Structure 1
């Protein structure tokens, strides 16, 4: 990789750390923290959250008809999502040890903490859990696919790949045959050590 790309990647990583620090400041301002892995709010904040909660009956009665009509389409996706979860987890369990790849920890991608928010009613909490599962699962699948691609084909595309995974940054340039062969040799040696 050239020096300019290394420099830019270092700056991006620095900005990501700075952004994470700002998120931490924001959570301190909203006066919550984690206690034994659970979200904990100050009692005054919890009281205000409860006051802002929309009753379930009012939430349903105020729903737009088109939103209600599309709900079955949204929730029907649970079937392919669960199947994807099962098959990708099975793929990883069988193939990653054979490739010498580190397994992706599913629990790091599926985060269900919004159910602790006192300002959400039960339906809103269900919707949040559904979205957390769907988006967490897609991130989990993407990481598994990214590690697979990094193992089998670590070559950048000729065109810009929108939404490329983090490992893509380390792929060799499109058309750089020598760098590709060298990278494949490195991967094979690394796999043999495991």
Structure 2
């Protein structure tokens, strides 16, 4: 019999599916759609977008000096982002096959599509690519860490966790030793079955 938490998770999945439908409707209203993972705008939309674009010279001329001064601080984070990205890719490539944890597809988390927007100038496109990379790397690392935690320590915290990864709800409750052992046994049994097969 499903628990109240299982029912809530099922409702959450249903709401997430509804959100995807609404996002698709928004795309249609804004006159674009996806064809084989490629963004296609309706005829005339790109011309309208180009007309709205702020020119590069105007963008630079209107830039807040404080924002210009802080730009090197923002862009200096590229170094830790790249190191995190490389480290997580290496960790997953080495460890996940040994633990029989399904690998995370990095390309699902690093999405670069804003350069298709004709209303963004070159600096805005570079900024968008940088933000996409930084947030994508963090989301990729979070999923790899979440799968690792699900394998090694599937126990919820006693305190509330803000924005837990998707695997967290399936963890054993804090203080439920039997549920923890059952979760660990499930993981080990899965690994044994995959090794035999």
Bin the TM-score by the shorter chain: over 0.9
Q: Distance in 2 between matches of 1:79 and 1:52?
A: 34
- Are positions 1:165 and 2:171 aligned together? no
TM-score of the pair, normalised by structure 1: 0.97
Counterpart of 1:29 in structure 2 is 29
Is residue 172–residue 179 contact of structure 1 (8 Å, CA) maintained in 2? Answer: yes
Counterpart of 2:145 in structure 1 is 145
Shift of 1:45: 1.1
Give the match's secondary structure for 1:127.
Answer: helix
Q: Distance in 1 between matches of 2:118 and 2:43?
A: 11
Q: Distance in 2 between matches of 1:4 and 1:14?
A: 15
Counterpart of 2:186 in structure 1 is 186
Give the match's secondary structure for 2:164.
Answer: coil
Shift of 1:163: 1.4
Counterpart of 1:155 in structure 2 is 155
Q: Distance in 2 between matches of 1:38 and 1:55?
A: 26
**Paired residues, what number?**
194
Shift of 1:37: 2.5
Matches within 5 A, 1:116-127: 116-127=116-127
Is residue 54–residue 121 contact of structure 1 (8 Å, CA) maintained in 2? Answer: yes
State the Cα RMSD in Å: 1.1
- Are positions 1:69 and 2:69 aligned together? yes
Matches within 5 A, 1:123-138: 123-138=123-138
Query: Unmatched 5+ residue regions in structure 1?
Result: none
- Are positions 1:11 and 2:11 aligned together? yes
Matches within 5 A, 1:32-111: 32-111=32-111
Q: Distance in 2 between matches of 1:46 and 1:176?
A: 57
Is residue 92–residue 103 contact of structure 1 (8 Å, CA) maintained in 2? Answer: yes
Q: Distance in 1 between matches of 2:3 and 2:33?
A: 40
Give the match's secondary structure for 1:60.
Answer: helix
Q: Distance in 2 between matches of 1:178 and 1:8?
A: 23
Query: Unmatched 5+ residue regions in structure 2?
Result: none
Shift of 1:2: 5.9
Give the match's secondary structure for 2:44.
Answer: helix
Q: Distance in 1 between matches of 2:37 and 2:97?
A: 30
Is residue 33–residue 41 contact of structure 1 (8 Å, CA) maintained in 2? Answer: yes
Give the match's secondary structure for 1:110.
Answer: coil
Is residue 100–residue 192 contact of structure 1 (8 Å, CA) maintained in 2? Answer: no
